[in-house]
Amino acid sequence: MSSELPPKAQVVIIGGGIIGSSIAYYLTQKGLSDVVVLEQGEIGVQGATSTCLGGLRTQFSTAINISFSLISRQVFQGFKNEFGVDPDFRPYGYLFLTTTREQWAVFENTSRLMTEMKVPLELLTPQEVGQRWPFLRFEDLAGGSYTKDDGFYGSIEVLQAFVKKARQGGAVYLERVRVSDVSISGKRVIGVSTAEGYEIRADVVVNAAGPWAGQVAAFAGLELPIGPLKRHLFFTDIFDEIPDVLPMVLDIDSGWYMKREGRGLILGGPAGEKSFSHHVDFDAKEWTANKSIQRVPALERARIIRGWVGHYELTPDHHAAIGTFPELENFILAAGFSGHGFQHAPAAGLVVAELIVDGQVQTADIHPLRPTRFREGNLIYEPICAFQD
């Protein structure tokens, strides 16, 4: 593969996941086709994108996260026309549940913000939750927060569509090429080196390395608090005792969730370990079984047949980091989407392409996502997540 490495490119993107691929696509759309994407593994096989569930929700507690969902949703609505691929949308809704007054207050604040932004959300009493979804235990709840227009896309179909279109636009993807260093001259990055000792010069380098983004930033001497958060998922056998069409149901206090997958279910297990381990823990299966039965008593009769592990790309405040550091003006970071990177990939690709080609961003105000916020101590915490870390 290294024999195909070009000596120079206008833009080198480190990471061929959904974020790097969306950026590559939008760059080519803006007429910048001299783009090389370097992927240490194979496209769609490793990294956060490979285990992603393809969910898009508008239910977030900050304006920037809601805006990114709305911008991306618009892209997904026109996806078939733009990419020639059906993104396989299933509008099943998202239902967050809580047992605590504190979290209920977060739902109320979120509802106010979403109403201001004209995005529909319903706050539900425990009894209303029980009436709508009789298979859910509701007596212990403080309430639920439901967005009916949210749902799921085919994540691999979407990734492949971005890659295919980016390639058609001139972007070159090189797989099994690991970037091992970043070369710097003054306040600029001048290229990258690979583990095999090749060098590629670049005008701009993008760090879209997902959970590895902190490691890649360190190659350039930057400290960046982005790393992996291990997440367990478990799959049940066919389970017909609850309806076929289900919202994504999330117990926000514990991070447990349940989603239909064919005639079975995906059950969200614990997260918390900050490592790249792929080991499926027995304790995690037990935790998941217990939480599942607590919320859906019928699941006592379900059989878990498989488990796997994925890795979120976590920041301390559960928001992405997009932009540059003042000491390296052409080293652009687009990572740390903290479990919402699939749904925010179209928005991220659009804004990063604008930043590179136009020198400024029109699509959204990305100032809240600036990477320097970590060292400034100006974090913008997102409490509405599919995990507890």
Ligand X SMILES: Cc1cc2nc3c(=O)[nH]c(=O)nc-3n(C[C@H](O)[C@H](O)[C@H](O)COP(=O)(O)OP(=O)(O)OC[C@H]3O[C@@H](n4cnc5c(N)ncnc54)[C@H](O)[C@@H]3O)c2cc1C
Query: Could you tell me if 379 and 317 are in contact, meaning their C-beta atoms sit under 8 angstroms apart?
Result: yes
Report, in Å, the least distance between residue 209 CB and ligand X. Answer: 4
- Cα(152)–Cα(56) distance, integer angstroms: 6
Report, in Å, the least distance between residue 248 CB and ligand X. Answer: 8
Tokens of 34: 């001299």
Among 13, 17, 75, 270, indicate the residue that binds ligand X (CB under 6 A): 17
Report, in Å, the least distance between residue 297 CB and ligand X. Answer: 25
Interacting positions 18-77 with ligand X (CB under 6 A): 18-20, 38-41, 46-49, 51-55
Please report whether residue 269 would count as binding ligand X according to CB under 6 A.
no
Interacting positions 337-366 with ligand X (CB under 6 A): 337, 339-343
Among 150, 251, 313, 382, indicate the residue that binds ligand X (CB under 6 A): 313
Q: Which is nearer to ligand X, 36 or 302 (CB)?
A: 36
Report, in Å, the least distance between residue 159 CB and ligand X. Answer: 8
Tokens of 345: 């990939």
- Cα(208)–Cα(37) distance, integer angstroms: 10
Among 11, 75, 166, 216, indicate the residue that binds ligand X (CB under 6 A): 216
Q: Binding residues for ligand X, how many (CB under 6 A)?
A: 41
Find the part of the chain contacting ligand X (CB under 6 A) among 82-90, 92-100, 249-257, 306-314.
306-314
Report, in Å, the least distance between residue 192 CB and ligand X. Answer: 8
Q: Which is nearer to ligand X, 107 or 342 (CB)?
A: 342
Strand, helix or coil at 361? Answer: coil
Closest by CA position to 46, among listed 151, 214, 178: 178
Give every CB contact of residue 57 below 8 A, 6+ residues apart in sequence. Answer: 69, 94, 147, 150, 248, 343
Please report whether residue 310 would count as binding ligand X according to CB under 6 A.
yes
Q: Which residues of 245-269 are buried (b: 16+ CB within 10 A; e: fewer)?
A: ebbbbbbbbbbbbbbbeeebbbbbb
Interacting positions 232-261 with ligand X (CB under 6 A): 233
Is 68 exposed, middle or buried (CB count within 10 Å of its CB: 0-12, 13-18, 19+)? buried
Among 64, 119, 200, 208, indicate the residue that binds ligand X (CB under 6 A): 208
Report, in Å, the least distance between residue 368 CB and ligand X. Answer: 18
Query: Could you tell me if 96 and 108 are in contact, meaning their C-beta atoms sit under 8 angstroms apart?
Result: no
Torsion angle of C-alpha atoms 59, 210, 317, 77, degrees rounded to 10: -20
Report, in Å, the least distance between residue 29 CB and ligand X. Answer: 18
Report, in Å, the least distance between residue 246 CB and ligand X. Answer: 14
Helix 63-77 × helix 101-116 angle, to 10°: 60
Q: Which residues of 296-330 are buried (b: 16+ CB within 10 A; e: fewer)?
A: beebeebebeebebbbbbbbebbbbbbbbbeebeb
Among 93, 126, 211, 270, indicate the residue that binds ligand X (CB under 6 A): 211
Find the part of the chain contacting ligand X (CB under 6 A) among 10-18, 161-169, 272-280, 349-357.
10-18
Q: Which is nearer to ligand X, 99 or 180 (CB)?
A: 180
Q: Which is nearer to ligand X, 41 or 307 (CB)?
A: 41
Query: Which residues here bind ligand X, judged by CB under 6 A?
Result: 14-20, 38-41, 46-49, 51-55, 178-179, 208-212, 216, 231, 233, 310-313, 335, 337, 339-343
